Amino acid sequence: MSNRIEPRTDGTSTGSRRRPAGYQAPGQFTTVCAGCRRAPVTAAEVADLSTVWLLPGLGDVPAAARFCRACAPRGPIAEVACAACGDGPLLAGDLAAAADLATTAAIDAWLVETGWRPAGPWCPDCRGGRR
Ligand SMILES: [Zn+2]
Ligand SMILES: [Zn+2]
């Protein structure tokens, strides 16, 4: 379990709303590009790096990463989109191509762990405020 994204609970840029441990909101940049290790500089790079990717990780656990445009994974890409706001991680590689139950369960487990409610799905920002 060493590949979790780092919890950020200080809420510096998002007001008083508490976030589940392990969830990084779009707009919080605690990580650099997982490919070239560069931090975003321009607004376009910031936008690219605001996207969370889920990649085949260790064992059954998907690994979350961010990429600049040049380093973004090629090949099959799928996405998880919040039913309310449309935000969500992109799935790359085997996670996007595979439709088997084990892969789906692994993705759902990651979503739950980072505060999602898979039934919508609803992201951590929307799950609390929807009726
Ligand atoms: Zn890069
Ligand atoms: Zn949402």
CA of 39 to the centre of ligand 1 (A): 9
Between 73-77, 98-102, 111-115, the lowest mean confidence (pLDDT) is in 98-102
CA distance 39 to 29: 9
CA of 121 to the centre of ligand 2 (A): 8
**Residue 56 pLDDT more than 50?**
yes
| Top-confidence range, 11-15, 27-31, 80-84, 101-105 | 80-84
Q: Which of 67, 65, 46, 54 is nearest to 103 (CA)?
A: 54
Strand partners, 78: 91
Please tell me the number of the ligand nearest to residue 124's CA: 2
pTM: 0.71
CA of 129 to the centre of ligand 2 (A): 10
Higher pLDDT, 128 or 97: 97
